[in-house]
């Protein structure tokens, strides 16, 4: 059992539209305790704040710590965040506009709280834990339900004028392409996210396409997860393999677009889809990016798969809180 003499732990929180995750981290950013509860955004902001507090308290208690032993809490929140004030400016998933999250949490927790955009927090984790060369410019692409980006320029997180930079999931790469949740067509995430991949599969199955997935899941594809795709491919399912390859090609084109535009030293790919399908997708992503990046722009640029997986956001939020409370 740990017996720290001072507040040397940090908590990182991943605040999502459906679930809240909290992790307690030691000074070397190892996660020693984690906890997860549902967000229930329909209950309103005050209730969400209470749920974040409970999630943090339970994670801390689980490791036999008290809040007094926590130096700070970092939160990765969806949408536009002003890290200077700790306000969530705009978060459609939570139904929040200009919500003072830092202030509300500090009142309850009585320890310093710092807020960042969730993808920026995830990128901070990748940068801190996986990029020892500390590249000057690096971009993270997180492929899950949607596609989000975290941007580091000149060694610092970049969030732009309205704090909404990095909305790479809504970069149009196929005008007139499939419909996106944002209302437009042909967005990157409408072509290559888990949602896009699953939509393609269920629609083909409805049209009579045979796949091992229906055998594996008993016909109910609503339970489909990225890991099932990997299993089906490894069992020889050519249909699933093709769908995943197509998504990887689109991701490669998205990577090339970002290289043509930003020319970062490193592009890191993360999120649930990459995590589950790294072996199936990464070689295709890299080859496609090399095809589409303009001659001369790719020299020395690394395209890497992040290992942070589901812990990216809580880890990055902890990194943030660590940086901000460092004496």
Residues that bind a second copy (CB under 8 A): 79-80, 89-90, 92, 135-137, 149, 153-154, 158-168, 170-177, 182, 184, 186, 250, 253, 256-258, 260-265, 291-292, 294-301
Nearest one of 90, 89, 124 to 317, comparing CA atoms: 124
| Helix spans in 207-237 (H) | 212-216, 226-234
If the CB atoms of residues 226 and 288 are measured against a second copy, the closer one turns out to be 288
Q: Write down the least CB distance from residue 168 to a second copy, Å.
A: 6
Helix (H, G, I), strand (E, B) or coil at 11: strand
Please state, in angstroms and rounded to a whole number, the distance separating the CA atoms of residues 67 and 300. Answer: 45
15 or 138: whose CB is closer to a second copy?
A: 138
Tell me how far, at minimum, the Cβ of 151 lies from a second copy, in Å. 8
Select 191 or 213, whichever has its Cβ closest to a second copy. Answer: 191
- The least distance separating a second copy from the CB of residue 102, rounded to whole angstroms, comes to 20
Nearer to a second copy, 68 or 136 (CB): 136
CB of 293 to a second copy, least distance (A): 8
Question: 3-state DSSP call for residue 82?
Answer: strand
Cβ burial 69-96 (10 Å sphere, 16+ → b, else e): bbbbbbbbbbbbbbbeebbbbbbebbeb
| Cα 102 to Cα 115: distance, rounded to the nearest angstrom | 6
CB count in 10 Å sphere of residue 111: 19
Write out the two tokens for 326: 């460092």
Q: How far is the CB of 246 from a second copy (least distance, A)?
A: 10
Residue placing its CB nearer to a second copy in the complex, 214 or 297: 297
């Amino acid at each position: 059992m740990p017996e720290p003499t001072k507040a040397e732990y940090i908590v990182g929180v991943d605040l999502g539209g459906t679930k809240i995750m909290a992790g307690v981290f030691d000074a070397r950013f190892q996660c020693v305790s984690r906890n997860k509860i549902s967000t229930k955004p329909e209950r309103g902001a005050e209730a969400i704040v209470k749920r974040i507090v409970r999630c943090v308290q339970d994670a801390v208690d689980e490791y036999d710590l008290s809040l007094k032993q926590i130096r700070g809490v970092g939160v990765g929140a969806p949408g536009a965040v002003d890290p200077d004030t700790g306000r969530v400016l705009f978060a459609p998933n939570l139904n929040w506009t200009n919500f003072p999250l830092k202030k509300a949490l500090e009142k309850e927790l009585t320890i310093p709280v710092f807020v960042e955009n969730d993808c920026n927090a995830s990128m901070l984790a990748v940068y801190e834990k996986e990029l020892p060369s500390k590249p000057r410019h690096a971009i993270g692409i997180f492929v899950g339900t949607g596609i989000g980006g975290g941007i580091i320029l000149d060694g610092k997180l970049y969030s732009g004028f309205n704090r909404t930079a990095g909305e790479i999931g809504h970069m149009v790469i196929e005008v007139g392409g499939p419909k996106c949740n944002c209302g437009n067509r042909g967005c990157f995430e409408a072509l290559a996210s888990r949602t896009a991949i699953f939509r393609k599969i269920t629609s083909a199955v409805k049209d009579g396409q045979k796949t091992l997935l229906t055998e594996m899941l008993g016909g109910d594809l609503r339970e489909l997860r990225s890991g099932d795709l990997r299993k089906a491919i490894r069992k020889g399912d050519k249909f699933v393999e093709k769908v995943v390859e197509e998504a990887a090609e689109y991701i490669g084109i998205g990577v090339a677009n970002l290289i043509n535009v930003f020319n970062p030293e490193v592009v890191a790919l993360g999120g649930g889809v990459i995590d589950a399908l790294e072996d199936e997708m990464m070689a295709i992503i890299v080859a496609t990016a090399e095809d589409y990046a303009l001659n001369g722009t790719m020299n020395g640029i690394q395209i890497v798969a992040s290992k942070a997986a589901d812990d990216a956001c809580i880890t990055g939020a902890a990194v943030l809180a660590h940086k901000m409370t460092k004496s």
